[in-house]
Amino acid sequence: MRVFSNLAFLVFLVALICGKSAEAANPDAREILRTIFTADIESVLALSAAPEHLRSQATIFVYGTSGYAKYRDGTNGITCLLNRDGFFYGSSAFKPTCWDSEGATSYVPVMLEVGRLLADGKDTNSIKAEIDAGFRTGRFHRPKRTGIAYMLTGDVNLDIKSGKVLQNAFPGHYMIYAPGVSGTDIGYSAEAAKQDGSLPFIFAGGAGGSELAYLIAVPHH
């Protein structure tokens, strides 16, 4: 797994922290993320997020004209999909992600709803408002225990015709569930990150915001 430079890492963090709307940062982000790949291509990309030993028995969702639909039932509690919520913070990168069984009941329902609303052509503010409302009404909820989501392929820019990975927007990483946790809580600061770009950090810029925050750790090999 390639080690990103401190500068590249910090540039990515600044984009997350700024939290600009997708329309302001990248007006084409939602259109790119609405791309429909064949089920075979999408499922392979989704599974690439997980450690190899978890892939064959994982549940898979693939994206289509109405949003996500189940492609395969799994047996090991892992759920994988090609997440498309990057437009929440202005990114058009696709995010192959695999959640454990706790994430399947908390994070995954939110990402499936984002997919449905994205397929419906809703704008970013409307999608954010509907997800926020879902947490207020109890339709969505935080994870009830610590868990993990795998993104070992990282955030990727794809060729929208072939599904081929063109480049990594962010390297492969592990995401530990950390709802309501801030960077201050774990001793993170931008100044410290300048000295050590490998520091874990809190990400709360995606769908669900702080309700579905993660502690992100990038393995360096």
User: Taking phi first (over 0 means left), then psi (-120 to 50 degrees means alpha), and beta for anything else, what does residue 156 get?
Assistant: beta
Cα–Cα distance measured from residue 197 to residue 69, given in angstroms and rounded to the nearest whole number: 37
| Contacts with 124 (C-beta within 8 Å, 6 or more apart), sequence order | 21, 22, 23, 30, 87, 88
pTM over 0.85: yes
> Running DSSP on this structure, what letter comes out for residue 66?
T
pLDDT in tens, the chain (221 residues): 334 444 334 435 544 444 444 344 456 899 999 999 999 999 999 999 999 999 999 999 999 999 999 999 999 999 999 999 999 999 999 999 999 999 999 999 999 999 999 999 999 999 999 999 999 999 999 999 999 999 999 999 999 999 999 999 999 999 999 999 999 999 999 999 999 988 999 999 999 999 999 999 999 75
**How many whole angstroms from its chain centre is CA 75?**
23
Tokens read off for 40: 């075979």
Residue with tokens 């549940």: 59
What b/e readout covers 180-210, taking b as 16+ CB neighbours within 10 angstroms?
Answer: ebebeeeebeeeebeeebebbbbbbbbbbbe
